[in-house]
Amino acid sequence: MSLVIYTDGSCLKNPGPGGFAFIIIFENYELHFADSVNHTTNNRMELTAVIEALKYCTETKITFFTDSKYLINCALGRWKKNKNIDLWNTYTFLSKNFDISFNWIKGHSGNYYNELVDKMANTQAKSLLL
């Protein structure tokens, strides 16, 4: 079996209040999760969404869907990881026992799950302004 996971990160100012979200889809089950971080960047939130999703995974084959080219290109070794080394180290540690693939989705293009994680992440970021 394979897990499908949609992720997104949001930051209202870069840096500033941020949020991240993921939806794990497995057979007929969906797990939705979102949280916020007070002072962060958009790229940190994109990566945090993947890291936090991995903590819930028990299946070894995972397909991530994201609108973050930063996340995909760094995870696949196409771009050098110059920043967020702490998070990349965590990702490397957590991902070592998984067979992970990434698929890029154009943001705000009508994909239901991509739109939903975007809304969830933005809602979390905005909650810090209240």
Active site residues: 8-9, 46, 67, 108, 118
Q: What values do phi and psi take at 96, rounded to 5?
A: -60, -25
49: helix, strand or coil = helix
Query: What is the number of H-type helices and E-type strands within the chain?
Result: 4, 5
Task: Fill in the DSSP letter of residue 108.
Answer: T
For residues 5 and 114, what is the distance between their CA atoms, to the nearest angstrom?
10
Q: What are the tokens at 86?
A: 């702490």
Q: If residue 75 lies in a helix (H) or strand (E), which one and from where to where?
A: helix 69-75
